[in-house]
Amino acid sequence: MEEKKRQPRIILIVSIIIAASLMATLLQRAYPLLTETVSENTPQEENQPTRVSVLTSDVIADQSWGSLAYKGKLQIEESFNASVTLHTEISGELSKINKVHEIIDEEEPELVIGHGKEFSDPFAYVAERYQDLMFVTIQGHASGENTAAYTFDEGPAEFLAAYAAVEKSETGRIGFLEPEVEQERERYFAKGIDHYDPEAELYTEFIPGRNNGEAAVSKLDELTAEGVDVIYSKGNAYNQHVIEYAAEHDLYVIGYIEDQAYMAENSVLTSVVKRIPLAYNRIMEDHYSSEGIQSGTHTLTFEDDIYDLSELGPMFSAEEREQFQKEYQHMQDGELPVKP
């Protein structure tokens, strides 16, 4: 009798054990699927975009220096998994320092880029406080373990641009307009003038700011009064004013930053092209590399496709183009009598 009473209990216990075993098996098989679903729906740190802050002292306007910072931002966002915040019109060293502190507190960037050498000193000062953050400038210099500068010197292209100038100058008087902030740099255009025509005269004028069209036009009046008939205008926004002036006054001009022949095809001899957004690309490539961005100065060259000369304008003969092509080949091969 007692044996009969135990049988239901035994059956119940066995049933519970079997059910528990089945449940454990099902959970074991379902676990990978569950974790995969969670993984797909939970953002992972490695998939988060890199936070980058870019600073420029200039405005964002057509042909401006600041517009190249904007293009650099677009270059980064199109090519990398990054979120870029652009801050403009930051003038004065103290303002730059305060702005960097503000940006770091509010945005917590993983990389800070200054668009221009004017950020080198402010970055050097701030970098001491944020040792785990890399500060990079376009041009300029680096002076700390967590600062870097990506520089490029379009010297060979400017040297060769002088060939176009001396070929088309009838007076042998050539003008050179340059922003005041650039006047400490070596002038390869002047060396090119001496090389291609030692008897030519070069008239150099400095413009306050990269975008001051009024000042540039005023200098052009002075230069044309001296008999200058070819101008190399090394500006940003003020180049538009210079090229318009050249077209109205029957002058030739050498453009800058981009191929500016579209403004006045019959007035622009050639242009010294600087592909600055590619410098941003290089910075990000180094940032994502196994070594990361190394402190110090990184010099980009012609081989990095960072600078070039645009095609000659329609005013050049076939013979002149042929000679220019020979000189251009020398530039490609690093054989011009000038080194950046």
Question: What sections of the chain are H helices per DSSP?
Answer: 2-41, 65-79, 93-107, 120-127, 155-168, 188-196, 213-225, 238-248, 277-288, 318-332
How many angstroms separate the Cα of 260 from the Cα of each of 116, 166, 176, 219, 247? 22, 19, 17, 20, 13
Burial 3-36 (b: 16+ CB within 10 A, else e): eeeeeeeeeeeeeeeeeeeeeeeeeeeeeeeeee
* pLDDT of amino acid 337: 85
DSSP string for residues in 89-114 = ---SHHHHHHHHHHHHHHH--SEEEE
The answer on pLDDT for 184 being more than 70 is no
Percent of the chain, pLDDT > 90?
Answer: 69
Q: Are 183 and 152 in contact (CB under 8 A)?
A: no
* pLDDT of amino acid 43: 38
The answer on pLDDT for 108 being more than 90 is yes
Of 10-24, 77-91, 302-316, 323-337, the one with minimum mean pLDDT is 10-24
Q: Which amino acid is at 163?
A: Y
Q: How much is the mean pLDDT over the chain? A: 87
Mean pLDDT in residue range 168-196:
89
* pLDDT of amino acid 44: 34
What is the per-residue pLDDT across 53-94, written as a single tens digit (0 to 9) for each? Answer: 999 998 887 767 888 999 999 999 999 999 999 999 998 999
* pLDDT of amino acid 229: 97
Give the residue, 331 or 41, on which the prediction is more confident: 331
What is the per-residue pLDDT across 234-264, written as a single tens digit (0 to 9) for each? Answer: 987 789 999 999 999 999 999 998 899 999 9
Of 157-161, 177-181, 217-221, 317-321, the one with minimum mean pLDDT is 177-181
Of 133-137, 188-192, 303-307, 323-327, the one with minimum mean pLDDT is 303-307
Give the residue, 166 or 45, on which the prediction is more confident: 166
- 189 φ/ψ angles, rounded to the nearest 5 degrees: -60, -40
Domain 155-274+310-332 fold is Rossmann fold (3.40.50)
* pLDDT of amino acid 42: 35
Q: Which amino acid is at 235?
A: G
54 beta partners: 86, 113
What is the per-residue pLDDT across 9-51, written as a single tens digit (0 to 9) for each? Answer: 555 554 555 555 656 555 555 444 444 443 443 333 468 999 9
Q: 155-274+310-332: same fold as 48-152+278-302?
A: yes
Give the residue, 167 or 25, on which the prediction is more confident: 167
The answer on pLDDT for 181 being more than 80 is no
Domain ranges of the chain: 48-152+278-302, 155-274+310-332
The answer on pLDDT for 2 being more than 70 is no
Strand pairing category for 268-274 and 307-309: antiparallel
* pLDDT of amino acid 34: 44
Domain over 48-152+278-302 is classified CATH 3.40.50.2300: yes
Q: Which of 325, 274, 267 minimizes the C-alpha distance to 151?
A: 274
The pTM for the full model equals: 0.78
